[in-house]
Amino acid sequence: MTVDSLEDSLASLQTEQRNALTSQIDTVSTLELCQIINDQDQGVADAVKLCLPEIAQAIDLVVPRIANGRGGRVVYIGAGTSGRLGVLDASEIPPTFSAPPGQFVGLIAGGDRALRTAVEGAEDSESLAGEEMAAALDPPLGSGDVLIGIASSGRTPYVLGGLRYARAAGAATIGLACVKPSRMRGLCDVLIECVTGPEVLTGSTRLKAGTATKMILNMISTGSQVRTGKTFGNLMIDLQMSNEKLRDRARRVLRTVVSPDAANTANTSKAAHDVHQDAEVDAILAGCDGSVKLSILVAMSGLSPEQARLVLQKSGGMLSKALRSVDQTKI
């Protein structure tokens, strides 16, 4: 591809178009500047809404590979802002949902130093993604894994090369772009093309495209965790109590589900333990190695932690199913 044809290709992208509604942004007051940006952001959620069927497909692609201890991994790759957003999403899942270490992996073109400092030319290498995955993943990427390639432009060589590497390894592939059509077509089992249109600043995809990317990654990772039993209703029951805020949240979650007068709980049976006192709650949590999910089942059923673990295992880690099975044995 010649320089002229490359420039023509870039200029045709929706994210590279000049936005007529923001062309005077440098001449207005600061408040008006903020209003312009906010007005442009209003359309991002609508653009994401158009992609909900594909996002749901992506979640359904991820779930069977990570459910019930199957050992599958979700690997995010991207360059620049796209790479940083992938690393961010991957890093938030373990503390939020107690996902096993290494189940969610974020890689950015140029390595971790690219999180803070641009690494020139890294995104232009088609082979670099495969090389970085080979170095970072043990065991190597395979059929039980999912690769999420993120590129607002839909044409970043690093991401395209990574998708090809993943397909050759037998992994499932998800592509996320903010243009349509993108060069990811034909490389993905699920392709999400979320067209957010011209940016507030021409070509600055850390703005609307970045916001849409974050929203979509939130849905994929959160949705996959909900579908694999990491929540009970809208309560996070697999959080890690790594600080006082999370310890307090764990107590409140347990108490909300277990207390007989708790609102919005699907289980109406009497609790086997009094959980009104922090000391009692802390004792249950300690006996269950800090597992909120296991603690709820123990507190509701009167089972020992060992017995409750077996019930959870038979229920595929789904607390609602485990509670129903315990209730049925009492009938």
Phi/psi for 29 (5° steps) reads: -70, 165
Q: Active site includes 123? A: yes
Cα 327 from Cα 263, distance rounded (Å): 19
For residue 234, give the amino acid letter.
N
Q: Where does residue 232 rank: exposed (0-12), middle (13-18), buried (19+ CB within 10 A)?
A: buried
Cβ atoms of residues 257 and 268 within 8 Å: no
C-alpha neighbours within 13 Å on the C-beta side of residue 328: 7
User: Buried b / exposed e across 47-80, counting CB within 10 Å, b at 16+?
Assistant: bbeebeebbeebbebbbbbbbeeeebbbbbbbbb
**Residue 126 annotated as catalytic:** no
Let me know: does 53 contact 182? Beta carbons within 8 Å: no
> What does R_g of the chain's alpha carbons equal in angstroms?
23
Rounded-to-integer distance, Cα 298 and Cα 77, Å: 40
CB 61 within 8 A of CB 174: yes
Q: Among the options 123, 132, 193, 199, which is catalytic?
A: 123
16, 32, 54, 92: which is the annotated catalytic residue? 92
Query: Which DSSP letter does residue 140 get?
Result: P
Q: Is 147 helix (H, G, I), strand (E, B) or coil?
A: strand
Share in percent of the chain as helix, strand, coil (round to 5): 55, 10, 40
Which amino acids are annotated catalytic? 92, 123
